């Protein structure tokens, strides 16, 4: 018996969007308020979650260049994350049984945490994740989502970076 397909929210959370769409400079604009910036970050975080995770993992791997053995270890773990979690659209099958995505996520997280404990590189991890979060917030705030006019703050904003509209 196979497990039911993941819901649309799960699929969207692990989808890596095309990189030209992610770095599209035509979609960049300054938010007109703090509320608009938080709305943009929220929408972009949901839409580009896979891209943001890959960027944070890439930053972590760059910080490990000075430790080649750890770099190889985390490259293997990174490849496991990409192959087992991010690049699949159908359930993982192991010995004829479907493996739930939550189990795969838990297993990969456990392997990653154990490797971090053994390697004792927590400082690298915190700095890398912090730097990645800064990049995530800057990109998320500057990139206007496609449905910017549907912002829940639309009636409160006096002007839109995408042009004039009528306040109801």
The predicted pLDDT at position 134 comes to 93
Report the chain's mean pLDDT, rounded to a whole number. 78
Q: How confident is the model at residue 103 (pLDDT cuts 50, 70, 90)?
A: confident
Phi, psi of 40 (to 5 degrees): -60, -45
- Report the alpha-carbon distance of residue 90 to residue 99 in Å, rounded: 10
Q: What is the pLDDT of residues 132-165, one digit of tens each?
A: 999 999 999 999 887 644 445 555 555 555 555 5
* Rounded mean pLDDT, 28-54: 88
User: Would you give the DSSP letter of residue 151?
Assistant: -
Neighbouring CB atoms inside 10 A of 86's CB total 15
Tell me what the mean pLDDT of segment 118-126 comes to: 82
């Amino acid at each position: 018996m196979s497990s039911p397909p993941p819901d649309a929210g799960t699929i969207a959370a692990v989808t890596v969007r095309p990189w030209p769409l992610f770095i599209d400079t035509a979609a960049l604009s300054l938010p007109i308020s703090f509320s608009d910036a938080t709305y943009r970050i929220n929408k972009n975080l949901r839409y580009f979650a896979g891209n943001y995770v890959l960027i944070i993992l890439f930053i972590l791997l760059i910080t490990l260049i000075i430790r080649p053995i750890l770099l190889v270890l985390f490259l293997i773990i990174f490849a496991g994350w990409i192959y087992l979690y991010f690049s699949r659209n159908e359930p993982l099958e192991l010995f004829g049984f479907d493996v739930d995505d939550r189990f795969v996520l838990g297993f990969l997280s456990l392997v990653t945490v154990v490797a971090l404990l053994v390697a004792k590189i927590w400082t690298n991890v915190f700095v890398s994740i912090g730097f990645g979060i800064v990049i995530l917030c800057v990109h998320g705030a500057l990139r206007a989502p496609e449905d910017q006019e549907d912002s829940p703050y639309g009636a409160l904003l006096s002007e839109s970076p995408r042009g004039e509209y009528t306040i109801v």
